[in-house]
Structure 1
Amino acid sequence: EQALKDIIIEYSTIKTNHGIAGYRQDSSNATRGAVVALEVDTGNVLAMASYPSYDPNIFAVPGRLSSEMYKEFFTPDYRAFAEELIKKKNVKITEDEKTKKMRPATPDDLFRFNED
């Protein structure tokens, strides 16, 4: 959990310009995250961590999630969140098969993993 916390704190200070993708990245809102480590061959969960950490049982047992906890975990203004999300766009960079040059991915691009 400490490693995840350190990465989130470091990442929240990054502001970069991406020349290829043509956008500016401001990661100052990177304040939380989660990671799950899986065994490649079996898919078994090896480790899980989240920051900030919390007790997942508060969601499983009725009455354990207080109104204060609810406000901490959930943003009540979903409209503002959605509007902010729409303003930002995620851009994947891929290599053009014909020209071998990097370019923004399109909806028609197909990404394959583990083709062994």
Structure 2
Amino acid sequence: MKKVEAIIKGNDFERVKNALKQVGIVPLTAYPVQGRGVQGGVPPYDLLPKIKIELVVKDEDLENVIDVIIMSARSGTPGDGKIFVLPVEDAIRIRTGERGNEALY
């Protein structure tokens, strides 16, 4: 299992969410954040509004999820965002006690 954290432009969120849903990835967490990369035209200490999406996926779904996020959030201009991938040791569905991949979706 992998945790995918994507920081994207706020106006791309609905497109990314819908694209993930189209490939069967519905569970996610999203919240507004502020940050900046190295893009020009922004004073060095100003932060820009972004959306952070977090989801845990099965290893076999990882590359597809990354591709979907890139295809639906890429404009080709600075500030499109970043994707981070982290290992996940376990997942537990509280309601049923299911563990691992069975607890994901």
- Would you call these one fold, judging by a TM-score over 0.5? no
Larger strand fraction of residues: 2
- The structure, 1 or 2, with the larger RCO (C-alpha pairs under 8 Å, 6+ apart) is 2
